[in-house]
């Protein structure tokens, strides 16, 4: 019998202030590391990730990461 899996989706977005004032501030890598380490402690693993460009206001865009996590269900 196949093992059941459970999924979780997390959305991490680049900061708005950095985008407005600097044009781009980059993804918050330390925040992503902290989130992933917390989730890994609960048994979650990264199954898939997508980096997307999101429009912000009229002239700006900012990056976002969509992380899909998976773990086995007991």
pLDDT digits (tens, 9 = 90+) for 13-51: 876 555 445 555 577 888 899 999 999 999 999 999 998
Encoded tokens for 12: 């991490």
Range(s) of the domain holding residue 53: 5-72
Half-sphere exposure of 38 (CA within 13 A, CB side): 7
The number of folded domains in the chain is 1
The predicted structure's pLDDT at residue 62: 78
Distance of CA 23 to the CA centre of its chain: 21
Beta bridge partners of 54: 62
pLDDT digits (tens, 9 = 90+) for 60-73: 777 889 999 999 99
The predicted structure's pLDDT at residue 69: 97
Q: Is the pLDDT of residue 56 over 70?
A: no
Q: What 3-state class would DSSP assign to 47?
A: strand
The predicted structure's pLDDT at residue 23: 52
Within the chain, where are the H helices?
16-22, 29-41
């Amino acid at each position: 019998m196949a093992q059941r899996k459970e999924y979780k989706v997390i959305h991490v977005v680049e900061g708005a202030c950095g985008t407005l004032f600097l044009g781009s501030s980059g993804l918050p890598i330390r925040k992503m590391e902290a989130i992933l380490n917390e989730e890994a402690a609960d048994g979650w693993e990264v199954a898939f990730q997508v980096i997307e460009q999101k429009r912000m206001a009229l002239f700006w865009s900012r990056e976002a990461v969509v992380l899909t996590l998976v773990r086995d269900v007991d």
